[in-house]
Amino acid sequence: MKNILISSFLVTLLSLSGTSTHCPSLCSCNRNQTDCSDLTQAASFDTILDQLPANTIILILSRNNFTTVEPGSFSNLKNLLHLDLSRNLLSTINPGCFSNLSGLVRLDLSRNLLSILFPSSFSQLRNLEFLDLSVNLLVKLPVYLFSDLSNLKKLVLRDNRLKELNADQFKSLAQLRHLDLSINSLNYIPTHLLDELHDLVWLVLKSNSLKRLDRASLEPATALQNLLLDGNPWNCNCNLIPLKHRLEWIIYRDLRSLPMELFRHCYPPYLETRTRSASEGYPAAPAECVRQRYRAVSVRRATATVVVAGVVCSVVCVLMVVTATYGCIYATLVAHQQQELLRENSQQLIVGKQPEQEEKQELITAIGKGDEATESVGWFAFPPEVCV
């Protein structure tokens, strides 16, 4: 019985130790990070993965000569969060290659030879936040390539050979904040490409083949703060004016207007090659452009602006009414006070003149009586006979 228990215990230990916990001899391990880059000795991709510790969180496999990744290659790395496969010779990503890495947060596939991707190349990576596909040979992307990447925050497609994008290309990337499409061959941005990217802050479109950009393409990106457009052969015609006004709207808090001179690579139609067919024609020159009527591009900003302007105008109007009312009341009180003062002064003058007139009348009466008395006294004192 004791031997049976010991045997079962050993079997349990062997089963638990089936997963490797040692660092491969060709790699360097530091806690939960395993660096297998710049391998000097030839080693197969599967051989290295079979030797990796199961608790690996960060795995660096850059600067090797790996040409392919087979489905299920990372089946023993359930805890992997960061995978770096940059600077290899990968030409394609087969469907389901990363399906076992549901917790993966960062995936770097930059500087490879990728030219073919499948709609399910990144399936089940619902926690992925960063995806770098820069410096590859991608010409076209499957429409639903990013359909499972609902948590993606940053997507880098810089320096590829992309010529066009589908309007639904980024439809599932509602949380995307940084999109880099620079150094490609894009000559047109679909009007509804950014419809679901309401949190987009960075948009890089520099060094493409854009000659025009519809202002309606930028309207859904209400959180946009950084827009890089340099290095494009813009056409200086009426089609560019709406973009100028849209950019002014985006930065209206910091800049009143956007000079046309900022479009350094902007060429008037008559300076382009004259091999262009005359039937294609060009829109009118900027001097002949008719100002278009623009609809509201940001309801939230427009509403806030109207509300603030209304409040300010209301306050100013109230202050003006209060000031005018106070002025009228003050003027009325001052006029009333002046009238009272005038009335009091006139009454005092009238009262002051009455005693003088009475005294004068009494004096005149007294003088008259005095004359009569003098005559009577003189008559008795000096009779007429004596005077003769």
- 207-224 pLDDT, tens digit each: 999 988 888 888 888 888
Residues whose CB falls within 8 Å of the CB of residue 58, separated by 6 or more in sequence, listed in order: 32, 33, 34, 80, 81, 82, 84
- 64: domain range? 21-157
AA letter at 246 = R
- 227-249 pLDDT, tens digit each: 898 899 888 777 677 777 667 66
Quick check: helix, strand or coil at residue 154?
A: strand
Whether residues 34 and 136 share a domain: the answer is yes
Whether residues 330 and 208 share a domain: the answer is no
Of 297, 323, 354, at which residue does a domain stop?
297
pLDDT for the residue numbered 181: 97
- Asked whether residue 92 is domain-assigned, the answer is yes
Quick check: helix, strand or coil at residue 203?
A: strand
Chain mean pLDDT for the chain: 78
- Asked if pLDDT for residue 150 goes beyond 90, the answer is yes
Whether residues 151 and 40 share a domain: the answer is yes
pLDDT for the residue numbered 354: 63
- pTM summary value: 0.64
- Asked whether residue 364 is domain-assigned, the answer is no
- Asked whether residue 304 is domain-assigned, the answer is yes
Distances (CA, A) of 235 to 179, 211, 260, 274: 24, 5, 12, 14
Of 297, 319, 354, at which residue does a domain stop?
297
Whether residues 269 and 182 share a domain: the answer is yes
- Asked whether residue 98 is domain-assigned, the answer is yes
AA letter at 19 = T
Nearest CA among 238, 180, 240 for reference residue 210: 240
Higher pLDDT, 374 or 170: 170
Q: Which residues pair with 356 in a beta bridge?
A: none
Whether residues 256 and 141 share a domain: the answer is no
- 264-318 pLDDT, tens digit each: 555 555 444 444 443 444 444 444 455 544 444 445 556 778 888 889 999 999 9
Whether residues 25 and 139 share a domain: the answer is yes
Whether residues 145 and 26 share a domain: the answer is yes
Higher pLDDT, 103 or 14: 103
Residues 135-148: what's their mean pLDDT? Answer: 95
Of 261, 276, 297, at which residue does a domain stop?
297
pLDDT band at 26 (very low <50, low <70, confident <90, very high): confident
- Asked whether residue 47 is domain-assigned, the answer is yes
pLDDT for the residue numbered 46: 76
pLDDT for the residue numbered 339: 85
Q: What is the CATH number of the domain that holds 114?
A: 3.80.10.10
Which pair of structure tokens corresponds to residue 150?
């609902």
- 176-218 pLDDT, tens digit each: 999 999 999 999 999 899 999 999 999 999 999 998 888 888 8
Nearest CA among 113, 127, 68, 71 for reference residue 96: 71
Whether residues 228 and 276 share a domain: the answer is yes
How many domains does the chain divide into? 3
